[in-house]
Structure 1
Amino acid sequence: MSEQHSNDSSQQSAEEAVSRPVSNTVSRLEEEGEIGADYLEELLDIADLGGDIDIDIDHGRASIAVVASEEGDERELADLVGRDGEVLESVQELTRLAVQARTGNRSRLMLDINGYRADRRVELTKVAQEAVTKVLTSGEAVSLEPMNPFERKVCHDVVAAAGLVSESEGAEPHRYVVVLPADENDEQAVDKADVNDAADDSASEQA
């Protein structure tokens, strides 16, 4: 009886030990999301822009989406996306810095505005799939257009899912993905920064 109780206690302790880090991680990411949302809400107020802020946890990082709340907001929020998402990248980095200033820890928070990243992910998935088809057909490497870390990460994931390999080459802001024939590498050659940022890492790390 006592032995059974001891075994049950040990199992419970082990389960608690496993669940504690997961719980702590979720709490930390939720905190990042709340801090980031507060910063963005203040930014929207200063810029006199309308929009709703949604907080989530996606692929092990805090995720914030700013979406139009009223008709006409999309056009205004487009200014926070900018050409090719350049302004969005800057706003994301500022939001990460705001989180870091409060928590003392570097943030990998991912920000989307007006659904730009979601739409871009769909586009890039198609681009990467077409590149995979070309590589399989020709047996030669295919280079994609220069992309930011978030965009490169999307392409790396698509290539890996297809069973091929890819790597990042060049220097920012002209760094790009090269899709390689499977026999050129035994495993996917993805820079650590591409993996960590993305979402992207977005994705401010140098990939």
Structure 2
Amino acid sequence: MTDTSVPQTEQALDEELAATEAAQDDEQDDDEEDEPEAEAKEASANGTSDSDLFRQSEIAADYVEGLLDILDYDGDIDELVSSGRPVVEVVGGRLQPLVGQRGATLEALQELTRLAVFRQTGTPSRLLLDVGGYRASRRKELAAVAKNAVEKVKEFGEPVRLETMSAFERKCVHDVVNAIAGVESESEGVEPNRRIVVRPVD
């Protein structure tokens, strides 16, 4: 198993997360998940091969497995490449604490895992981490939110501002809105209070 330097204590986890947040001040990882066309642009500019992406998912899976061992959680871990990005999925019972309220803990764990991949490869990773199928179920919820906003925009002809969302959540909404004719979406604000505005196309 690859040594991914998993933190051994809760304090070490906090320090790792703080380091990740500091790195985010210099990087714009969230933006790649925010605007609708950014992901495709990133994939074409990156030129990373599927084997490299799968290697990132393997490193990430090793790191997550180490975290689960420390936290004494049981879960099956799958690593794969999907839509041009490395993905790690964790399934099993008693995993909700790893998701947290509205996925906040999951987002933090994802950033820690991305940092572990970066330390091994020297390359920023667009890794997507999912626990207990949270992201799939959240996508369905956000699709309903997006369609409801579109209906209001079409009915009243006025922009609709949605609640603040994470980068993952915003991308889910962008994908739905921008597949519907006559409306468009854009993000506004600054993290952690960034939100989507849905408006009619001029």
Fold in common (TM above 0.5): yes
- Secondary structure (helix, strand or coil) at the match of 2:144 reads helix
Aligned counterpart for 1:162 among listed residues 133, 156, 180: 180
* Aligned position for 1:9: none
Gaps of 5+ in 1: 1-20, 184-207
5 Å-filtered alignment, 1:59-98, equals 59-68=83-92, 73=93, 75=94, 77-98=95-116
Aligned counterpart for 1:130 among listed residues 137, 140, 148: 148
Q: Please say if 1:179 is aligned against 2:198.
A: yes
* C-alpha distance after superposition, 1:151-182 (max 9, x if no partner): 00010111100122111111111110000101
Structure 1 vs Structure 2 CA RMSD? 1.6
1:23 to 1:182, Cα distance in 2 relative to 1, 3 A: closer
* Aligned position for 2:69: 45
Name whichever of 55-64 and 94-103 sits farther off: 55-64
* Aligned position for 1:194: none
- Percent identical pairs in the alignment equals 54
Aligned counterpart for 1:149 among listed residues 147, 155, 167: 167
Decide which structure has the larger Cα Rg and report it.
1
Find the aligned partners of 1:24 and 1:160 in 2 and give their Cα distance: 27
Find the aligned partners of 1:157 and 1:82 in 2 and give their Cα distance: 24
1:146 to 1:24, Cα distance in 2 relative to 1, 3 A: closer
* Aligned position for 1:188: none
Find the aligned partners of 1:170 and 1:108 in 2 and give their Cα distance: 23
* Aligned position for 1:118: 136
* Aligned position for 1:55: 79
Find the aligned partners of 1:36 and 1:158 in 2 and give their Cα distance: 29
Find the aligned partners of 1:114 and 1:61 in 2 and give their Cα distance: 19
- Secondary structure (helix, strand or coil) at the match of 2:49 reads helix
Q: Where is the helix percentage greater, Structure 1 or Structure 2? A: 1
- Per-residue deviation, 1:32: 0.5
Q: Please say if 1:103 is aligned against 2:121.
A: yes
Task: Report the count of equivalent residues.
Answer: 157
Find the aligned partners of 2:117 and 2:97 in 1 and give their Cα distance: 23
The TM-score with structure 1 as length reference comes to: 0.73
Gaps of 5+ in 2: 1-44
Find the aligned partners of 1:146 and 1:22 in 2 and give their Cα distance: 29
- Per-residue deviation, 1:112: 0.5
Aligned counterpart for 2:58 among listed residues 28, 34, 37: 34
Structure 1 runs (4+) deviating above 2 angstroms are 21-24
The TM-score with structure 2 as length reference comes to: 0.75
